Amino acid sequence: RVFYNLQVSDEPVDTTELTKSFGWDSLESFMQHDVQEFNRVLQDNLETKMKGTVVDGAVARLFEGKMKSYIRCVDVEYESSRVENYYDISLNVKGCATLRDSFANYCEVETLEGENRYQAEGFGLQDARKGVIFESFPPVLQLQLKRFEYDFQRDAMVKINDRHEFPPQIDLGEFLSEDADRSQPWTYRLHGVLVHSGDLHGGHYFGLLRPTADDRWFRFDDDRVVPVTRDEVFEEYYGGEFPQATALGTRARPNSKRFTNAYMLVYIREALSAQVLGGDAPVPEHLLRRVAEDRAEEERRRREKEELANTVPVKVVGDAQFAQHQAFDLSYFDQRQPAANALFSERMPRDMLLRAFVEHYAQRTGQTPGSFRLWTMVGRVNKTVRCEAPLVGAAMDLTLAQVLENRMPRWTEMRLYCESRADGAPADFLEQKPPARTSMVHAKFFDAERRQMRGVGSLYVTADQHVRDIIPALRRLAGLADTTPVVLFEEVKPSLIEEMDVSQTFQNAEIQSGDIICFQAATDAAAMRVPEFFDDVQHRVSVRFVPRPARSDDDYAASEASSPTPEAPVLAASTKLAYDQVAQWLAEQVGVRDPLKLRFYTVSPTGQPRQPVRRTATTTLAEMLPSAMFMQPALNGDGLPEYTVMYERLEVDIVQIESMRPVRVAFVGRNMREEHQLEVLVPKVGAAQALMEATYAKIEQHLRSQQREPSGDAVPKPFSLRFYVVGYHRIAHVLTGEERLAELGSPGVSDVVAELCVAEDGGSDSAMDTSDEPRASRNVEVMHFYRDLAHAHSVPFLFAIYADEPWSETWVRLQRKLGMGEKELKNLGVVCGPVGALDLRRCRVVQGTVATGAERNDSPAMDQNTTPTATPPPSAPAVLQQQQSAAMEADSTDMSRAASAVSSDNNSPDSAAENGNMCLWDVLQQLDAREEAEQKPQLDVVGFIGLHHVDRVSRHRNLHHERAIRILN
């Protein structure tokens, strides 16, 4: 549509839709963009949108050329080249006086010789020439002049304002390769100049265009298009300096730079100019229909806007609406008003006389103009909307705009009350104002038995009249017996309904025109009173109860098979309704016998359940609803706010559930990749045996849901679980079942891990051979860390090691337990240490490279590490020894401490040669014998294995940073 409007419109075209189509929002209009970037984004999006249409490939046919980058050897027949497509060419301005100089600079050949010789495949190092040559130029050639460059002296981008001349016609044949098609001349003529005015931090673009083959130029500057001369195009925007003439005998001042100069050039090949600049293309029919629809929509919006400016909304409440109104005031004037009790609401001309509106209203409502009169309504300070004064006499000759501005200046709409003629009233009563000290009051009757409020009419009272004097008239309006006792209330404001003293006069009771008096029969002292009814109405909402989606990890939720989903019941009640009352009502609706077996959830704005609502003695329906800070509810047909609350059926009552607490348990399956986070509910007081039993049942349910039931050879039934407590990613102790539940599962500090014990090779994980005599085995803790032991992460686990088992076999079993891939295993460094060791200097490096002590500074010597393989090479400790020797040479002081950090056993040549046959059992026994007995924790293990996860990207980044600092220093 934008290009169509550019072609046919006589007015400036808005490009907002175009920029929005490729992801630019309104914020982009306040940001500076490079025009070359915009041009490429536009062309990419046009190509994408054209795919599969009759114009598919049109952008490439117009703007795409080919260039070849080559390296050609001087002494041998060898050339390496690559042909690339381009849509525009960026040419240097600095150091180039003309456009031809820029092309020559672009195609300049560089000689590779000496130390910079080229490695030619099959010929070795050779002298070569490197350059760029054009294979073809497109019909429309777009050239970007590199006016913005990086200044190394200023350490910033700067704009190059040097003089750079571009010709009206240029022959580019000399820059083409020998194989190029030269059947037609490669002469180009200038048709467009894009000019940038300003500097790096801000500026303005405008274009100079020659739309046809004629030599007529126009300047397109935002919404202004003006003709310009040819001299202005080819002289004013070359850049350079302004010449300054000086008077005779005065000192010449330095010339100032031109900050307005050409930034992009558009040349069209002369041989194809007739094809490129052909007449207007035919417009597709679907685009014409769409443009017509858009114009019709725009015209409709214009009329609506004009109508809004020339009309005023008028709303009128009559006795019929007042009689059915169940809330405060005479009625609502917004969306809270029920559709079944709609007001008269129309937009009327602002210059319409009030007299004419009365006739219009009478015709629309089926009345005669003399049977009613209108009252203006105003908003009072106490947030009420009440009648103020009747519109009679001279007011009938005012326009609606004058009535609105004079009587209701705070509102944008007119709110009126229609007073109907009462039986027995004088004929001219509605044509005059009420007598002095006389007020019109409205009366509402509250039926306590039905809990229903209705408007029964209006009364005229005098200031000296007592309140009790109107009681007989109120009984007649409500249809009560003459002896029925009544009690009167005044609607002061929505939150204040006061009982009236009937012995007072209306003046002392501060009653004025427009006030509302509510009354009810005082026969039943236990019946609901008017203040309670209004309090209920003020807090009344509509709540839709929907079932919570089923969860596989819920211990006490009822199954879907036993509880079919009913239709969502809707409750219209006060937000002060108690929790148990809501549960009782919902239980009757969904067929649940025990209301305590229902649990409620607040719903987020995205429709997801939040935390369950706690049941307390003070919990109400309000606690089940989302906060108004996060969600603004819609209104239903009755004007009530609509909310959604989720509920869940339970197998046990909520009292029992709330006496329990959740404990986070990490379940680990056959390997550490099969990790699942579970939440288990346990009693707040008790032993850990309850947690172990509940976890066992939940894991069994989880395995069955994954179609991996604990049966057969892979997972025996009953399957075995090992429980231990993890604190800060280290195993604290193994659970026996006698621990106190209150000490387990502290959030953020400790977790409980349940590990599935799976047999290996047909036996348990503590018996690896098939001999009758069991092998001696001990457990070790396997933990994960980065850089040092204090930076532990992931879930640790217990692992069995055996006497006389070589490390190569132990590593294979450990790989199977970890479940890692080959790439991850290559980045693992392995250390072993005694129980309680918190420093890497007390540990032994088993395989790979682990920085210890001063080595953690990422020194260059330590970065030249070897990459460990899935099975440890026998020379791994020897490589580590060589690295430590190199580290000591780099920094004798720091690296000496690092070299002493690893035990002498690890660095000995003998142990290096026998690394593949090293027994981890013997190593840990030696390390464990050196430790003090009182330093060992309660965990019954012989030591630990630490897995160092090497982040090679971070290490290389730190290495380069350290080298840069050394060079700078």
CA distance 639 to 329: 15
Could you tell me whether strands 169-171 and 156-159 are parallel, antiparallel, or unpaired per DSSP bridges?
Answer: unpaired
Q: 3-class DSSP state for residue 78?
A: coil
Q: How high is the pLDDT of residue 555?
A: 55
User: CA torsion, points 232, 233, 236, 237, in degrees to nearest 10?
Assistant: 160
pLDDT in tens, 165-216: 999 999 999 999 988 888 899 999 999 999 998 887 778 889 999 988 888 9
CA distance 548 to 552: 12
Residue 130 and residue 112 in contact, taking contact as beta carbons nearer than 8 Å = yes
Q: CA 681, 686, 690: angle at the middle one, nearest 5?
A: 50
In angstroms, how far is CA 538 from the centroid of its own chain?
35
Residue 460 and residue 434 in contact, taking contact as beta carbons nearer than 8 Å = yes
Residue 188 and residue 175 in contact, taking contact as beta carbons nearer than 8 Å = no
CA distance 876 to 868: 8
Residue 634 CB coordination number (10 Å): 10
Residue 835 and residue 842 in contact, taking contact as beta carbons nearer than 8 Å = no
Q: 3-class DSSP state for residue 638?
A: coil
If we measure between CA atoms, which residue out of 94, 102, 93, 89 comes closest to residue 39?
A: 89
Q: CA of 446: how far to CAs of 224, 488, 489, in Å?
A: 70, 10, 10
Could you tell me whether strands 385-390 and 372-379 are parallel, antiparallel, or unpaired per DSSP bridges?
Answer: antiparallel
Residue 424 and residue 415 in contact, taking contact as beta carbons nearer than 8 Å = no
Q: How high is the pLDDT of residue 540?
A: 92
The neighbouring-strand residues paired with 646 are 546, 601
pLDDT in tens, 686-732: 888 888 888 888 888 777 766 544 444 444 456 788 898 888 888 88
Q: How high is the pLDDT of residue 771?
A: 46
CA distance 774 to 761: 15
If we measure between CA atoms, which residue out of 215, 87, 211 comes closest to residue 141?
A: 87
CA distance 502 to 510: 13
Beta strands in 248-358, from DSSP E residues, in sequence order = 260-269, 311-317, 344-349
DSSP assignment of 187-246, as one string?
EEEEEEEEEEEEETTEEEEEEEE--SSSS-EEEEETTEEEEE-HHHHHHTTS-SB-----
DSSP assignment of 352-415, as one string?
-BHHHHHHHHHHHHT--GGGEEEEEEEE-TTS-EEEEEE--GGGGGSBHHHHHHHH-TT-SSEE
Q: How high is the pLDDT of residue 837?
A: 82
Q: CA of 704: how far to CAs of 8, 700, 718, 775, in Å?
A: 70, 6, 13, 34
Burial string for 817-851 (b: 16+ CB within 10 Å, else e) reads bbebeeeebebbbbbbbbbbbeebebbbbbbbbbb
Residue 164 and residue 262 in contact, taking contact as beta carbons nearer than 8 Å = yes
Q: How high is the pLDDT of residue 911?
A: 42
Q: 3-class DSSP state for residue 524?
A: coil
Q: How high is the pLDDT of residue 871?
A: 35
Q: How high is the pLDDT of residue 930?
A: 55
Amino acid letter, 309:
A
Q: 3-class DSSP state for residue 868?
A: coil
Residue 722 and residue 757 in contact, taking contact as beta carbons nearer than 8 Å = yes
CA distance 753 to 11: 73
Residue 779 and residue 925 in contact, taking contact as beta carbons nearer than 8 Å = no
Q: How high is the pLDDT of residue 835?
A: 82
Residue 633 and residue 643 in contact, taking contact as beta carbons nearer than 8 Å = yes
Q: How high is the pLDDT of residue 5?
A: 77
DSSP assignment of 873-916, as one string?
-TTHHHHHHHHHHHHHHH-HHHHHHHHHHS-HHHH-HHHHHTGG
In angstroms, how far is CA 969 from the centroid of its own chain?
45
Residue 232 CB coordination number (10 Å): 13
Residue 275 phi, psi (nearest 5): -75, -40
Q: CA of 769: how far to CAs of 94, 373, 608, 677, 763, in Å?
A: 79, 106, 53, 34, 8
Residue 453 and residue 433 in contact, taking contact as beta carbons nearer than 8 Å = no
Residue 288: which region, alpha, beta or left (left: phi > 0; alpha: psi -120 to 50)? alpha
CA distance 554 to 196: 66
The neighbouring-strand residues paired with 572 are 542
Beta strands in 137-178, from DSSP E residues, in sequence order = 140-146, 148-151, 156-159, 169-171
Q: How high is the pLDDT of residue 646?
A: 93
Residue 18 phi, psi (nearest 5): -65, -50
Collect the ranges in the chain with pLDDT lower than 70.
21-23, 25-33, 242-256, 279-280, 551-566, 629-630, 705-718, 745-750, 759-774, 849-916, 928-939, 951-969
